[in-house]
Amino acid sequence: KPHAVCVPYPVQGHINPMLKLAKLLHSKGFHITFVNTEFVHQRLLKSRGPDSLNSLSSFRFEVIPDGIPPSDSDNDALPDGLTICDSTSKHCLAPFRDLLFKLNNSSNMLPLTCIVSDSVVDFTRTAAEEFGLPDVVFWTASACSLLASAQYPSLVQRGLIPLRETQFHDSRINPSFPNSQSQQRNPSSLNPDPVPCSGRRRPLQSSVDSAAAPVVAAAAVVAAPGQLKKK
């Protein structure tokens, strides 16, 4: 049996598609290790109950620390995307490396075959290289949005994005929306603040450039599960 380690970006809109992909792979004969961060793991247990993540022998959940402090209140909403991106980049590599070592050296575990990682998770690539494992990149949105995102470096190089302050606030970026909604409906890459642009795009560009296998788009996988072949 092939053994895939699935690592989603730790927000709900990325976890759900990765979980669907993991279930599809499992149905085709894969052994699955699904890796959540501590913050997400605790939120899932709180919302779904203490037994919700009990593992099967061939579909296991593992947890790694993410550096995000536990919430002091009942409001366990996830931090903003930049905080998550920064925290996972700084804190997840070492524990993920330890997890791979544990899985690879466990007598009751199948040898690792590959890592399937979200396109905006960057620490998995480093670990995959160290362990000699292929890293398959999973794009959780549509294939159309992947094509658009792949043009980001070219648009930056040509000076088209990020938008200048005057462009962003004083003009209607999308004519079909009222002016008050135009800014809200456009992706963060158009924001004049360069930090979110660079912070979120570097992992994506790194994943596309170094992927050991073609990027898998979520829409294609969910729409055509019969295309997944058992090896």
- The residues that are catalytic are 14, 118
Q: Who contacts 106 (Cβ-Cβ below 8 Å, separation ≥6)?
A: none
Q: Chain-centre distance of CA 167, in angstroms?
A: 31
CA distance linking residue 38 with residue 124, whole number of Å: 17
Q: Can you list the alpha helix ranges (DSSP code H) found in 28-106?
A: 38-48, 81-91, 93-104
* Nearest Cα to Cα of residue 231 among 60, 104, 114: 114
* Nearest Cα to Cα of residue 15 among 56, 47, 58: 47
